[in-house]
Structure 1
Amino acid sequence: MRVLHVVTHHSPDHVFGGPTRVALNLCRALGAAGDEATLLTVGEGFPGELPREVDGVPVRMFPARRLIPGFGFAGVTSPSLLARAGGFVRSADVVHVHLARDLVTFPVALRALLGGHPLVLQTHGMIDPTTVPAARLADSLGVRRVLRGADMLLHLTDADRLGVASVTAPRPPARSRRLVNGVAPQEHRRPARAERGGPPVVLFLARLEDRKRPADLVAAVAAVRAVHPDARFVVAGAETGGLVARLRAYAAELGVADALEFTGPQDHAGVLSLMRSADVYVLPSTVDPFPVSVLEALSVGLPAVVTATNGLAPDVLRSGAGRVVAAVAGDAVFTGHPGASATPGARTRPGDSATEGNGALIAAAVLELLEPAANETASVAAHRLVAERFTIGAVADQLREVYAEVLALHS
Structure 2
Amino acid sequence: MKIIQIVTLVTPDGAYGGPVRVAVNQTRALLEAGHEVELVAGGSGFGATLPKQFDGVPINLFHARSLPGMGFSGTWAPGLQSWLRSVIRTADAVHIHMGRDMVTLPASQLARRLRVPYVLQTHGMITRSSHPLAGIVDRLWTFPALENARRVLYLTPQESTDLKSLSRPLPTLEELPNGVPQSQHSKANKSKVIEVLFLARLHERKRPLLFIELAKKLHPIFPNVRFSMVGPDGGQASDVTASIQASGISHVLQWEGAIPPDKTAARISRCDVYVLPSINEPFPMSVLEALSLGKPVVITNSCGLGPAILKKEAGMVVDETLDSLVDSVTLLLDDAEFRDRVSRAALDLAYNDFGMKKIVKHLENIYDEVSNNGKRHK
Query: 1:4 touches 1:94 (CA, 8 Å); kept in 2?
Result: yes
Q: Aligned partner of 2:86: which letter?
A: G
- What residue in structure 2 maps to residue 324 of structure 1? 317
Structure 1: distance between partners of 2:202 and 2:38:
28
TM-superposed deviation, 1:244:
2.3
Deviations 1:153-196 (A, max 9, x none): 1111111111111111x4211x21111000111367622x6xx2
Structure 2: distance between partners of 1:238 and 1:261:
14
Root-mean-square deviation over aligned CA pairs: 1.5
TM-superposed deviation, 1:248:
2.3
- What residue in structure 1 maps to residue 368 of structure 2? 404
TM-superposed deviation, 1:320:
1.0
Structure 1: distance between partners of 2:122 and 2:331:
35
Mapping 1:306-325, distance limit 5 Å? 306-325=299-318
TM-superposed deviation, 1:84:
2.3
Structure 2: distance between partners of 1:268 and 1:12:
7
1:235 aligns with 2:229: yes
Mapping 1:158-169, distance limit 5 Å? 158-168=157-167
1:280 aligns with 2:309: no
Q: Aligned partner of 1:92: which letter?
A: A
Identity of aligned residues (%): 36
Q: Aligned partner of 2:274: which letter?
A: Y
Structure 2: distance between partners of 1:152 and 1:50:
31
Query: 2:185 touches 2:269 (CA, 8 Å); kept in 1?
Result: no
- What residue in structure 2 maps to residue 378 of structure 1? 342
Q: Aligned partner of 1:25: which letter?
A: N
1:359 aligns with 2:322: yes
Structure 2: distance between partners of 1:295 and 1:123:
18
Structure 1: distance between partners of 2:214 and 2:72:
31
Structure 2: distance between partners of 1:90 and 1:56:
27
Distance 1:15 1:188, change over 3 A: closer
Q: Aligned partner of 2:76: which letter?
A: T
Structure 2: distance between partners of 1:219 and 1:121:
38
Runs of 4+ in 1 over 6 A off after TM superposition: none
Structure 2: distance between partners of 1:189 and 1:301:
10
- What residue in structure 2 maps to residue 368 of structure 1? 331
TM-superposed deviation, 1:48:
4.0
1:225 aligns with 2:223: no
Query: 1:223 touches 1:360 (CA, 8 Å); kept in 2?
Result: no
Structure 1: distance between partners of 2:351 and 2:310:
17
Deviations 1:189-235 (A, max 9, x none): 622x6xx2422100001122111111111011122112210111110
Query: 2:6 touches 2:104 (CA, 8 Å); kept in 1?
Result: yes
Structure 2: distance between partners of 1:187 and 1:376:
19
1:286 aligned counterpart, secondary structure: coil
Mapping 1:66-105, distance limit 5 Å? 66=66, 68-105=67-104
Query: 1:199 touches 1:230 (CA, 8 Å); kept in 2?
Result: yes
- For structure 2, the 5+ residue unaligned runs are none
Structure 1: distance between partners of 2:201 and 2:245:
22
- For structure 1, the 5+ residue unaligned runs are 328-357
- What residue in structure 2 maps to residue 41 of structure 1? 41
- What residue in structure 1 maps to residue 10 of structure 2? 10
- What residue in structure 2 maps to residue 123 of structure 1? 122
- What residue in structure 1 maps to residue 264 of structure 2? 271
Deviations 1:305-355 (A, max 9, x none): 00000000111111111101111xxxxxxxxxxxxxxxxxxxxxxxxxxxx
Query: 1:6 touches 1:98 (CA, 8 Å); kept in 2?
Result: yes
Query: 1:219 touches 1:360 (CA, 8 Å); kept in 2?
Result: no
Structure 1: distance between partners of 2:75 and 2:191:
45
1:205 aligns with 2:199: yes
2:115 aligned counterpart, secondary structure: coil
Structure 1: distance between partners of 2:175 and 2:155:
6
Q: How many residues are matched?
A: 374
What TM-score do the two structures reach when normalised by structure 2?
0.95
1:257 aligned counterpart, secondary structure: coil
1:248 aligns with 2:241: yes
- What residue in structure 1 maps to residue 181 of structure 2? 184
TM-superposed deviation, 1:400:
0.5
What TM-score do the two structures reach when normalised by structure 1?
0.88
Query: 2:181 touches 2:355 (CA, 8 Å); kept in 1?
Result: yes
TM-superposed deviation, 1:360:
2.5
More displaced stretch, 103-112 vs 159-168: 159-168
Q: Aligned partner of 2:238: which letter?
A: A
1:80 aligned counterpart, secondary structure: helix
- What residue in structure 2 maps to residue 349 of structure 1? none
